[in-house]
Amino acid sequence: MGVRQISVFLENKSGQLAHICRIIADAGINMKALNIAETSDYGVVRLITDKPDLTVRVLSDEGLVCRCTDVVAISVPDVPGGLADVLELIARKNISIEYMYSMMGNDGKSHAVMVFQTEEPSEVFAKAGLDVLCGKDIGISEA
């Protein structure tokens, strides 16, 4: 039930991110989320796109180092305290999170989406009463 995320090695050089985005654009891939973690020297770009397999292929073909991993996407009510409630629940259940970031919801309703990287299976989140989304829910067209 996980959502597939593509991470790409980003060398600290001007135009590198633009280069990655252009490769993706030229392949007709639509980006749903983008998050960057960096040190002063390099970074990791994390992407959610509508076509994860194709994204990995086009980036690898250009000689970039990338990989696909599963992450958990959770729907968060778009109201004050929406995220605080979700995070408190996660903390109470002792679910440890490696990193997280937000992305646009795809349903046009008043919901945001948070993406979590964790060692735990997504069922743990569902059992905690959270609204776990599948790829289709956030506009990923590849199975």
Partner 1 sequence: MERYYSKEIECAPREQLRAMQSERLVSQVRHVWDNVPYYRHKMEQAGVSPADIRSIDDITKLPFLKKDDLRDSYPDGLRGVPAKECVRIHSTSGTTGKRVVAYYTKEDIDLWETCVARALVAADISDEDVVQVCYGYGLFTGGLGLHGGAEKLGCMVLPMSSGSTDRQLQFMEDLKSTVLCCTPSYAAYLSESIHERVLSDRIHLRKGIFGAEAWSEDMRASIESSLGIKAHDIYGLTELSGPGVAYECSVQNGMHINEDHFYAEVIDPDTGESLPLGSKGELVITSLTKKGFPLLRYRTRDICILSAEKCACGRTFVKMSRPMGRSDDMLIIKGVNVFPSQIETVLIQQGYPANYQIIVDRVNNSDTLDVLVEMTAENFSDSLSKITAKEKALVAELKAMLGIYANVHLVTPKTITRSEGKAVRVIDKRKI
**Residues lying near partner 1 in the complex (CB under 8 A):** 5, 7, 9, 11, 37-39, 41-44, 46, 63-67, 69, 98-99, 117
Residue 140 contacts residue 32 (beta carbons within 8 Å): yes
Looking at beta carbons only, is 44 or 126 nearer to partner 1? 44
Pick 106 or 117: Cβ nearer partner 1: 117
Q: Residue 66 CA to chain centroid, in angstroms?
A: 14
Residue whose CB is less far from partner 1, 25 or 65: 65
* Longest distance between any two alpha carbons in the chain, whole Å: 44
Question: Which of 111, 123, 109, 23 has the alpha carbon at shortest distance from 70?
Answer: 123
DSSP 48-74: EES-HHHHHHHHHHTT--EEEEEEEEE
CB of residue 12 to partner 1, shortest distance in Å: 8
In whole angstroms, the minimum distance from the beta carbon of 77 to partner 1 comes to: 27
When the beta carbons of 38 and 107 are compared against partner 1, the nearer one is 38
Closest approach of partner 1 to the CB of residue 5, in Å: 7
Minimum Å distance from CB 79 to partner 1?
30
**CB of residue 62 vs partner 1: minimum separation in angstroms?**
9
Nearest of 67, 17, 5 to residue 42 by alpha carbon: 17
Indicate the residue among 44 and 54 with the shorter CB distance to partner 1: 44
DSSP string covering 120-138: S-HHHHHHTT-EEEPGGGG
